Structure 1
């Protein structure tokens, strides 16, 4: 990290401690806005990630606000004072309101796992293969790349700084003045072949065979690393062709990283690995090579299925993945209670392959064995039946219907301090959805699903069972990697499962 020079000082305002602190010491979180100022009489320009930051002039210098990227990882700031350039690289941490990176990874894995189980249960005659990715894009795979490629870049930096190497010894015939030290093998060679090169009792031969040790990076682990880089490059070129400007731009940026990685010195002269992949002790124990192997192992998990989300990467935000995960978690509970007869409607077929048929504003319904229904993104408006809305179009995320009564679940990935307001919005479902036949309200209970724990005295009541039973609304903490037993109990209660 380069320190500021010329007495110029960039300050960031810490809203937690309510103090101004140097840029080098500031704690950044993703998707947040920060105030900054700098005192200088010089001509000044300010960049974040090579993009100019807007600013206004003050009596003592310049000030403005900056918004950190919606992704954790390294961020670079560049300041130009007249002709002097200062570059600072710091880290942008994951939003504390979000789930952790481990929870996010588990969310993706559990989403795939339940999809596989439902597909097997569907009994569809499939053309599903496990031979790698197809030309159809994978939302799960792109989400994994987008969320963790900064981690991969950091791992590669550590590897490039101290790559694995070995000493390869080679026997060479050298002019005697270039031989720096004698070895027993050299002495034995002179005694045996020295006369052929002019050796006499008082004179050494003109050439001597000596052992030369050369440092080499041509190891299995480095060859596999290069193969992984080339595979990732090929994959990013696929994503670069999708009809989404943001994904195209990010894929192009990541490809620039790949181009730089391929030109790193220790990879020169190395041929990419071909054939089967083995897990060596290096991949098991080396602190950086192990993380590299694990990253690509996870990538291929999202790459091994030829059915996936059918919306062709139209969705890029984590909160939408969380919604789909919550829906499949409810399906998992229903499956465990043996209430699922047929999961065929979860999938759609195109070009000989099956895709998980979940997309924003696209209704998907499962019929339950006890006569109930579970619907993802159910559309309710003035002309729908058997339920309608007399105000405006409504699309609740998850609707569980049983005995002509609706229970609505609304996943909120980042709700934190807005939980009371988010729950207040649920009244529109309670009051605005009516039966087409009776004109009576049909929504009995509404709940927020969130990965946020029940912290804070002003919010903990929403998670309590007595509060939920009294008011027919509240919140459940639903997180990946956990049993979520309280929520399962609620589903069993609604569906009258013993």
Structure 2
């Protein structure tokens, strides 16, 4: 990528190496960078078509840029001149396989915990079969970009065959006389004047896309359009708009030339040699096979969770893993607050500020997103029913285990590696700032950070049990797909 010919210089600030030209900068996904443009006081700077705000400086302008939670090629446009660069995958990012593991673990544990819920609405955890599911919607959103690229390749180079058809055509349109045409002429040529008929029965070979593999593509698109219509009608807010937007794209694909004249497949699907060997059609078919596998998950559909919000899924997964440990130890008694029921079915409700709580033996609890309010203890204590308060600000730890009047706080941090010391420093606000409103004593026994990765070197001490016992805080490794240790 070259700098603009006008002489302006575009720089990106890297935390490791300071200011670098855009050609030298190594951009990583989901990261904030500072940028500056010299020798231009009023530029138009676009990042993937979106304008970047800036403030003037003595030498030009400066601003900040947030790279998307996705790797790949991006375009930075300066005063109408486009320049391509690349955003690299963050090594701290979980793989798609780990993302799927978290979804599966959450939903499987939710189904098992339903037996402890105490709901009496007549639902059967083993017999539910919902066409719509949270995991399926998440899969569609995450995989739609891949599906778009596959369809573009299919549309550019669709599989086709030469098909021979016999029909009557005007004699002036005959381009080649074959044996069958000659025989027909001998039988049907006018005997009196030996004239050639105006229309001749002949066979013609022409290319067609109406073959099994393309019929299967059209069948898949019609089914996906119907599925997205259901999500659009079932959901509301942002999710409704997103489902409608994806549905419109699918409808646009159905009108592409590669599917013109192609009939959708009807009947049992078989895997042909072309589907096995053609890389694009094979990936296309695999995408839809995975789509329908999500129907086996027994969970209601209540909200969406985009890939960029993987940290939210990680928080839920950690919470469900602690519930699983309580269930395995025999202390779990009631999980009814994990669910809500409507006339349409059962929904898992884990969301910010919902304070979803499961009950354990002896009155203990595990709460997701528990809220601790700021209060003045001198005025609130006589009239309040709340046992705890904060004297600084409202606090919402991700996971709180209450044992008697003592609290144990866990804070999942999906992208904390390399910064565990600072993250633990922030945990002091929970340990010191949450108090018993009646006697003003601190109530938080221990605070732990949960992270899918484990640091080496100096920060390894935060994971050591001796550190945990001495300082009542530390880090715990919680990696999807890896057996859990005690925590």
TM-score of the pair, normalised by structure 1: 0.76
Pair 1:113-2:146 in alignment: no
Aligned to 1:163: 158
Q: Secondary structure at the match of 1:396?
A: coil
Aligned to 1:495: none
Closer, same or farther: CA 20–267 of 1 in aligned 2, 3 Å = farther
Aligned to 1:483: 483
Q: 5 Å matches for 1:112-191?
A: 112-119=107-114, 122=117, 124=119, 125-126=122-123, 129-133=128-132, 140-173=135-168, 186-187=178-179, 190-191=182-183
Contact (CA 8 Å) 1:386, 1:435: kept in 2 or not? Answer: no
Aligned to 2:260: 268
Aligned to 2:345: 353
Contact (CA 8 Å) 1:73, 1:150: kept in 2 or not? Answer: no
Offset at residue 223 of structure 1 (A): 3.1
Q: Secondary structure at the match of 1:416?
A: coil
Contact (CA 8 Å) 1:77, 1:88: kept in 2 or not? Answer: yes
Q: 5 Å matches for 1:282-321?
A: 282-302=274-294, 307-308=299-300, 310=302, 317-321=309-313
Q: Secondary structure at the match of 2:457?
A: coil
Which piece of structure 1 moves more, 159-168 or 250-259? 250-259
Distance 1:25 1:435 in 2: 51
Distance 1:188 1:27 in 2: 66
Q: 5 Å matches for 1:226-375?
A: 226-233=218-225, 238-239=231-232, 244=237, 254=246, 257-258=249-250, 260-274=252-266, 277-278=269-270, 280-302=272-294, 307-308=299-300, 310=302, 317-369=309-361, 372-375=364-367
Aligned to 2:378: none
Q: Secondary structure at the match of 1:429?
A: helix
Q: Secondary structure at the match of 2:482?
A: coil
Closer, same or farther: CA 371–80 of 1 in aligned 2, 3 Å = closer
Distance 2:79 2:257 in 1: 31
Offset at residue 449 of structure 1 (A): 0.8
Closer, same or farther: CA 306–409 of 1 in aligned 2, 3 Å = same
Pair 1:396-2:397 in alignment: yes
Question: Gapped runs of 5+ residues in structure 1?
Answer: 491-498
The one-character-per-residue Cα deviations of 1:197-248 (angstroms, maximum 9, x if unpaired) are 3599x99998765543322222343334334434444555654996545x56
CA RMSD of aligned residues (A): 4.3
Which piece of structure 1 moves more, 102-111 or 323-332? 102-111
Aligned to 1:66: 65
Closer, same or farther: CA 22–404 of 1 in aligned 2, 3 Å = closer
Closer, same or farther: CA 121–271 of 1 in aligned 2, 3 Å = farther
Offset at residue 114 of structure 1 (A): 2.2
The alignment of Structure 1 onto Structure 2 pairs a total of residues equal to 471
Distance 1:262 1:23 in 2: 40
The one-character-per-residue Cα deviations of 1:459-492 (angstroms, maximum 9, x if unpaired) are 22111222222222111121222223x2xx23xx
Closer, same or farther: CA 315–148 of 1 in aligned 2, 3 Å = closer
Closer, same or farther: CA 5–446 of 1 in aligned 2, 3 Å = closer
Question: Gapped runs of 5+ residues in structure 2?
Answer: 376-380
Closer, same or farther: CA 345–249 of 1 in aligned 2, 3 Å = closer
Aligned to 1:421: 422
Which piece of structure 1 moves more, 205-214 or 54-63? 54-63
Offset at residue 354 of structure 1 (A): 0.8
Contact (CA 8 Å) 2:184, 2:201: kept in 1 or not? Answer: no
Contact (CA 8 Å) 1:132, 1:305: kept in 2 or not? Answer: no
